[in-house]
Structure 1
Amino acid sequence: MRRAASFLALLLCLYWTGTQGESGGVTGNDITQTEIQSEILGVKSTSDQTNISPDIWAELKELRDMAIEHRVELRKLEQENTAIQTRLTASESKNAVLESKMNASENEVKELQRENTVLKARMKTSENVMEELKMENTDLQSRVTASEDKRKVLEARMNVSENEVEELKMDIADQPKVAFSLGLTDDGLLGPFNTDITLKFSKVITNFGRAYSPITGLFTAPVRGAYYFSLNTVDLQNNAWSVVSLYHNNKRVLWSSNYNNGTGSNRLSNSLVLQLEKGDVVYLVLRAGDTVYDNTYNHTTFNGFLLFPL
């Protein structure tokens, strides 16, 4: 009974010591071997008084050693636990930083996705605009091509026209210039004569090509062609006929006549177009017994010109 009581007392002491170390009182490091030996000596003296056997002391020593080892191991475990907690806190801090960065990255990704969506929409709009511009460009190219074709056609026609103009210029340059306009005389009344006479228009107003001779009164065709002729005469005799004829070579082709009944001057006017061969002659003839009148006002005239060569 006494052995059991002593053993229980030692165990209670060890438990109290361990409890104090856990609650912040005496720790494992504070229990020195001197204090343990004092407790053992106290127990030993009590045991001597109660006559405890030496085997109990050996068991108590072993229990003491085991308690010390357990406290040392417990301290190491506490230190390791503290280090692990420190590392865990650091890891949690890192995790928090990483989570913050991850959230920022996710927000950036979402923002980039929104921007990408906007860019895709703008790209689609740009592609549509580009397609429209391509269509407009194609239409413009077609119109430009058509315009160039028209321009080429116009240039070709212009070249043809220019060539024709040049040919006409050459033809005109080669074509003889034939035209005359004549007045009869400044002496007043001419006639009457006993026979038909060729009127010689002595007042040359124009005589291009010099085809008319005021000496002979004949117009000589320089080339084969169509010619226009006209005549105007005035006669002052009252109650008389006035007859002037136009001859082609020896053939009368125009007869102009009028009767003056005494009411004023007798006027004749006529014209025609003749086809002449080169060397043909044209002239005016006054009938025998008739008269014509002219002065500086050119009342009696003879005109002609080449329409075109044949």
Structure 2
Amino acid sequence: MRAVIVLLFLHLGWTDVVGSVLETGADVEQHVKGGEGQTNPELRTATTTQPDVWTELRDLRKVVQGLAAEVVQQKVELSVTKTQLQHSRSQVQELKTLNAAMEVRLNEEMKDIKTENNAVEMRLTSMEKEMGNVMTDMSGRPKVAFSAALTDAEYIGPFNTDITLVYKKIFTNVGNAYSPITGIFTAPVRGVYYFRFTAVGKSSSHRLVIRLVKNGEQVMAMYELPNDNEYVNNAVVLQLEVGDIIYMQLPSSNEAFDNSNNHTTFSGFLIFTL
């Protein structure tokens, strides 16, 4: 019953309802007293048995006032909540806008980074190819170089026939293209080679003649007339095919000299391949 009355108060306004109830209560009280302030005997007994309506009305009025104050407080809190919600929504929108701008900027920076990375990768690929070519050339080209002296035995010759000089004292023989057993250099690859030779003759009765021979054909020859401390030297650059042979030759009736000072030498090396 109180809940219905409270809802009625909230719908109509508690002051109007309470006023109406109070007016009704006054009428009832007047009727009970009867006319000019006299108490109606018929109703006296009935009124004495009824609850204290005025006390209940006053209590109800307090309840309604409390509810009204609570409703006002809730309205205020709801208004504050709405304001906070609107502010939060505004902040969320600002964050969304900021995130969108940052995403656009990040995408642009990522594109720039990808472009730079692609350029770097292309450059690295090019460098790797160049390095690969260099490494292939370096690894594919044999290292060929030799240098040797003739002997410590001093006089060589004279002989009745041409002989191949065998330089037995090896200083360098990278690639083992020169044989200290035969005295012959064999080209391991097609390319351009450099050769140099020196020789000394000390005989006063025999001249010094020395030849550089390629595949059995003389390339050059150096000679001196009989005399003490004859000295010759020369150099040549030759293009050789694989298997071509180079050696030094002492013609018949000639004499060469060498000792621990290494006067008579034969050297050569690969300049580049073809």
TM-score by length of 2: 0.57
Is 1:138 the counterpart of 2:107? The answer is: yes
Residue equivalent to 1:115 = 84
Q: Distance in 1 between matches of 2:174 and 2:39?
A: 153
TM-fit CA distance, 1:139: 3.8
Q: What is the one-letter code of the residue matched to 2:267?
A: N
Q: Distance in 2 between matches of 1:142 and 1:28?
A: 98
Q: Choose which of 152, 163, 168 in structure 2 pairs with 1:202.
A: 168
TM-fit CA distance, 1:148: 5.9
1:41-67 superposed Cα distances (whole Å, 9 cap, x missing partner): xxxxxxxxxxxxxxxxxxxxxxxxxx7
Residue equivalent to 2:235 = 271
Residue equivalent to 1:72 = 40
TM-fit CA distance, 1:233: 3.5
Matches within 5 A, 1:219-230: 219-221=185-187, 224-230=190-196
Q: What is the one-letter code of the residue matched to 1:227?
A: Y
TM-fit CA distance, 1:275: 1.6
Identity of aligned residues (%): 31
TM-fit CA distance, 1:306: 4.3
TM-fit CA distance, 1:184: 0.6
Q: What is the one-letter code of the residue matched to 2:193?
A: Y
TM-fit CA distance, 1:105: 1.1
Q: Distance in 2 between matches of 1:294 and 1:147?
A: 67
TM-fit CA distance, 1:187: 1.8
Relative to 1, partners in 2 of residues 1:97 and 1:211: Cα closer, same or farther, differing over 3 Å? closer
Residue equivalent to 1:6 = none
TM-fit CA distance, 1:94: 3.6
Unaligned runs of at least 5 residues, structure 2: 1-31
Relative to 1, partners in 2 of residues 1:234 and 1:117: Cα closer, same or farther, differing over 3 Å? farther
SS state of the match for residue 111, structure 1?
helix
Q: Distance in 1 between matches of 2:176 and 2:136?
A: 26
Q: Distance in 1 between matches of 2:33 and 2:105?
A: 95
1:89-120 superposed Cα distances (whole Å, 9 cap, x missing partner): 45543442233112211221232133224323
TM-score by length of 1: 0.52
Residue equivalent to 1:104 = 73
Q: Distance in 2 between matches of 1:251 and 1:112?
A: 112
Higher helix share: 1
Aligned CA RMSD, in angstroms, stands at 5.1
Is 1:298 the counterpart of 2:266? The answer is: no
Q: How many pairs align? A: 236
Q: Distance in 2 between matches of 1:258 and 1:139?
A: 83
Residue equivalent to 1:124 = 93
Unaligned runs of at least 5 residues, structure 1: 1-26, 30-66
Q: Distance in 2 between matches of 1:280 and 1:295?
A: 30
Matches within 5 A, 1:22-101: 72=40, 89-90=58-59, 92-101=61-70
